[in-house]
Structure 1
Amino acid sequence: MKTTSPSRLAGALPVRAGRRRLLLGLAAAAALPLLQGCFPVVATGVGAGAAMVSDRRTGGAYVEDESIEWKVSNRIRQRFGGTVHVNVTSYNRNVLLTGEAPDATVRGELDGLVAGVENVRGVINEVVVGPHSSLSARANDALITSNVKARFVDTQRFSAHNVKVVTEANVVFLLGLVTRAEADAAATVARTSQGVRKVVRVFEYISDEEARRLDDPAGARR
């Protein structure tokens, strides 16, 4: 149940400008958890539409992933309240869970809870048993994520839009629809980034031909 996604860097903007725009976008994304009660607005806003254009997922899959994350988070919150700290990331309907649970029983319950959500294809449960992470640890994880994404842009070896980065306790998880070469490049950049303890690939692999088709559907028909 692994997933990956890379691509060419689009546009002729200088790398520095591209990096600045990415960091601004990441800063905005970091504020999304504060808007948990506003999912319909966030999911259907201009930012979401722009992101879909450069994503290898279909528009339907993109929106469905947003909905899955919302539904799973609500289920976990209703079932366990504040006893768990679980981050939910859905990519192409595969759900990655990261964070902390108070014991192995609760951690095990998460799989069935997620699997029961409509349209979920699979669950990757990377939740650990232990106390909740501190706010400073979470801030450091957010910084690592921003740095890894910025380095993706700087290296210009693949499109940063095609690899989703999630960091938990200095462990970087990489998701996306990618080729093997793109996956290797992304993993190398992440592994050599400051503060990264470990890199876990949660990629869905596609062929070079499929990557070209997804990146330029109009050209594939010519």
Structure 2
Amino acid sequence: MFKDTVIVLSTILLLQGCAAAVVAGTAGAVTAAHDRRTIGAQIDDNNIEIKSALALSEIPRLEKYANLDTISVNGIVLLIGQVANQEMKMQAQQAIENVNGIRKIHNQIRIGSNISITTKTHDSWLTSKVKAQLLTAKNISSNNIKVVTENSEVFLMGLVSDAEAAIAVELARNVSGVERVIKVFEYL
């Protein structure tokens, strides 16, 4: 009897993991289907982000002392984070310039100390608040706007119309705690 109970419970636990995987996979597929980028462009963007991270990690000085991230939407790359000086900022950009598929780089690296975990947590909260505003807004497709927050600066990326960009910027500017909104849009 005990053995049967353990088998049943184990099966249930394993199936819960499968259910979560199915839900996550379905959510990803729905998001991908509503994205204005082709599936190929979405895959290319993912590859650009991975290859850029690898290129940056190959420079010991950047790997050890900098806090850097790359986000790609349709081959347009946002390079963010913190470095100690202008030389390191340029070195980071040069490190990713030869990554295949990049059409343009927006180097928004800030010179200064790396941000704290508290600031990163606050940034995640701001991103959530901006996304919630976009999700409930009329005349805008929030699926086509990527929101990235770094040190209370909100970066908006995606393939959008002029009207969608204006709405998104206005919504983001009015979120409490957002210090600056930077557009990295590609216009339709």
| TM-score calculated relative to the size of structure 1 | 0.70
**CA offset digits 1:65-107 (Å, max 9, x no partner):** 0110011011112212221101110010011011101111010
Name the counterpart of 2:10: none
Task: Work out which structure has the larger RCO, using CA pairs closer than 8 Å and 6 or more positions apart in sequence.
Answer: 1
For residue 44 of structure 2, the aligned residue among 64, 71, 80 is 64
Name the counterpart of 1:95: 77
Alignment partner of 1:172 is 2:154: yes
Of the two, which has the highest radius of gyration?
2
Flag structure 2 segments of 5+ consecutive residues without an equivalent: 1-24
Flag structure 1 segments of 5+ consecutive residues without an equivalent: 1-44, 207-222
Name the counterpart of 1:119: 101
The 3 A distance-change label for structure 1 pair 200 and 77 is: same
For residue 65 of structure 2, the aligned residue among 79, 83, 106 is 83
Instruction: Using the TM superposition, give the Cα deviation of residue 50 of structure 1 relative to its aligned residue in structure 2, in angstroms.
Output: 3.0
Q: How far apart in 1 are the matches of 2:27 and 2:65?
A: 32
Instruction: Using the TM superposition, give the Cα deviation of residue 49 of structure 1 relative to its aligned residue in structure 2, in angstroms.
Output: 3.0
Q: How far apart in 2 are the matches of 1:82 and 1:157?
A: 44
What is the number of equivalent residue pairs in this alignment? Answer: 162
Secondary structure at 1:203's aligned position in 2?
A: strand
| TM-score calculated relative to the size of structure 2 | 0.83
What RMSD, in angstroms, separates the aligned Cα atoms of the two structures?
1.2
For residue 163 of structure 1, the aligned residue among 145, 150, 172 is 145
Q: How far apart in 2 are the matches of 1:171 and 1:70?
A: 23
Q: What percent identity do the matched residue pairs reach? A: 33
Q: How far apart in 1 are the matches of 2:85 and 2:112?
A: 7
Aligned pairs for 1:202-217 (under 5 A) are 202-206=184-188
For residue 55 of structure 1, the aligned residue among 26, 35, 49 is 35
